[in-house]
Amino acid sequence: MILIIDDNAENIFSLKKVLELHNLEVDTASSGEEGLKKILKATYSLIILDVQMPGMDGFEVAEAISGYNRAKDTPIIFLSAVSIDKKFITKGYNTGALDYITKPVDPDILMLKVKTFLQLYEQKCILNAMQTALREELEFKNEFISIASHELKTPLTSIKAYMQLLQRSLENSGDKMVLNYLQRTQVQIEKLHHLIADLLDISKIEKGELRFNKKDFSFEPLLKSVIEIIQQTNEGYKIEVKGDCNVQVYGDNERIEQVLINYLTNAIKYSPDSKQVEITTELLDNNELQVNIRDYGIGIAKEQQGNIFQKFYRAGDTANRFQGLGIGLYICAEIIKRHNGRYGVISELGKGSVFYFSVPVVHHSIHRRTENIVKSEINS
């Protein structure tokens, strides 16, 4: 329905006639105030608004409309005795479409503008509806992932515990082949566990609920234990470590462990023809510890390197050759960002990659060290 707001009854009459001749439904108001009351109650697809009216003028009415949720996207055609500056009519109303017609109104021009605006409004409504539907679908999917991964986690934890019991009893009495199958099952269960944990993390990031338990911790033992874990499930791999990492880091050690595991698992997964991974650590001048993990694997093409930390992104033909969901690096990026660190990749297709991240080292540990040196120098 179209709303005409004009204080002149004759104008209203003639405009209404033209519009009704084209089978358009019309409502009318004889002042700005009355028009606003109507707009509050009903939804209009177009408003034809007289500029010069006693009381509220057309521009004031338009400004008021822009604050109404129901009408802020509704196009407006101003009616004016003189031609008006476009800059002036957009003042205070910049969300919807705007135009003006000078009086006396030419019915053909009026209909041309009315039809264009009605089409525009209709398209905008369709777009809005699609957007709402998409948003709802996305929210549903996030909620589903969150619930499903929660529900999967509980039985999986029991399975892991039973597997450990089974392993213990087989180690004493069991046959070697069965023990071997059991170990392989455990590796797969561990993968499933990481997948479910990643899915849970994704839904937490989406809801802004990824929490960190930050404290000071020593980095070196953490790195050593991660390498041990990775080495256990990847026999025959050579993981070399270089550099000094005997520092205190302030952060969530479990989350930083997660980043290390993810980088290392990827370095192995995406290197089908190499069994070598190198880790170098460096203390930067800006009090950051940088960890670089180098592999000699498939590498990543230059133009794809910028996308690699995005959610669900998998480079090249990765999806055909390797299992995965494309969420690990996205979670790593979020974790490092939340530690005020940096992350990235340097890579060459077919030659290998260096994935790196940095985390701030604890200031006062360095101060304390210098303090101790100064103290011992004074004492001696």
Which stretches of the chain bind ligand ADP, using CB under 6 A? 262, 266-267, 270, 295, 297-300, 308, 313-315, 318, 324-330, 353, 355
Is 77 within 8 Å of 62 (Cβ atoms)?
no
Residue nearest to ligand ADP (CB): 324
Cβ proximity to ligand ADP, 250 vs 313, nearer residue: 313
Q: What are phi and psi of 292, to 5 degrees?
A: -115, 130
Task: Closer to ligand ADP by CB, 6 or 295: give it.
Answer: 295
Strand partners, 358: 290
Q: How far apart are CB 253 and ligand ADP at their closest, in Å?
A: 21
For residue 189, which of 170, 171, 163 has the smallest C-alpha distance?
Answer: 163
Burial class of residue 353 (count of CB atoms within 10 Å of its CB; 0-12, 13-18, 19+) = buried
Q: Nearest approach, Cβ of 163 to ligand ADP (angstroms)?
A: 24
Nearer to ligand ADP, 174 or 324 (CB): 324
Residue (300 or 359) nearer to ligand ADP, CB: 300
User: Tokens representing 347?
Assistant: 């890579």
Report, in Å, the least distance between residue 302 CB and ligand ADP: 13
136 Cβ partners below 8 Å, 6+ apart?
none
Q: Which two tokens stand for residue 217?
A: 């911790």
43: three-class secondary structure by DSSP:
coil
CB of 337 to ligand ADP, least distance (A): 15
Residue closer to ligand ADP, measured from CB, 128 or 310: 310
Q: Are 263 and 223 in contact (CB under 8 A)?
A: no
- Per DSSP, which regions of the chain are E strands? 2-5, 26-29, 46-50, 76-80, 98-102, 215-218, 238-242, 248-251, 276-283, 288-295, 343-348, 352-360
In terms of phi and psi (left: phi > 0; alpha: psi -120 to 50; beta: otherwise), the region of 312 is left
- Taking the complex as a whole, how short is the minimal distance between the CB of residue 146 and ligand ADP, in angstroms? 19
Task: Give the residue with the Cβ less far from ligand ADP, 59 or 270.
Answer: 270
Instruction: Please say which residue, 75 or 299, places its beta carbon nearer to ligand ADP.
Output: 299
CB of 219 to ligand ADP, least distance (A): 22
Q: Of how many residues is the chain composed?
A: 380
∠ CA 21-30-44, rounded to 5°: 60
For the CB of residue 144, give the shortest distance to ligand ADP in the complex, in Å.
Answer: 20
